[in-house]
Amino acid sequence: MSYFDDSEKIALLRLDSIPGIGGTRTRNLIARFKNPSAVFQASFAELTKVEGIDKRLALNILNKKTD
């Protein structure tokens, strides 16, 4: 995984704290959106296009956006 600045590290920790989002899904999300912060800017439709991200996980990600 690439080097991330502090804000990206925080976003990565937020992503990692979501139940059901493990290493593989995190890698899939970052591969699609390029960095952890961008994952939280994605729409529901964009998130559900990522391999391994179902509707429930997409909603969990969107809900974590404001934490």
Question: How do residues 12-26 score in pLDDT, each as one tens digit?
Answer: 999 999 999 999 999
Give the burial string for 37-65 (b: 16+ CB within 10 Å, else e): bebbebeeeebeebeebeeebbebbeebe
Contacts of 56 (CB under 8 A, 6+ apart): 20
> What's the total number of domains in the chain?
1
In a domain, 1, yes or no: no
In a domain, 17, yes or no: yes
Which of 37, 48, 44, 29 lies closest to 8 in space, CA to CA? 37
Element of type H or E holding 15: helix 6-16
* Structural domain harbouring 45: 6-64
Question: How do residues 37-62 score in pLDDT, each as one tens digit?
Answer: 999 999 999 999 999 999 999 999 99
pTM: 0.87
| CATH code where residue 31 lies | 1.10.150.20
In a domain, 35, yes or no: yes
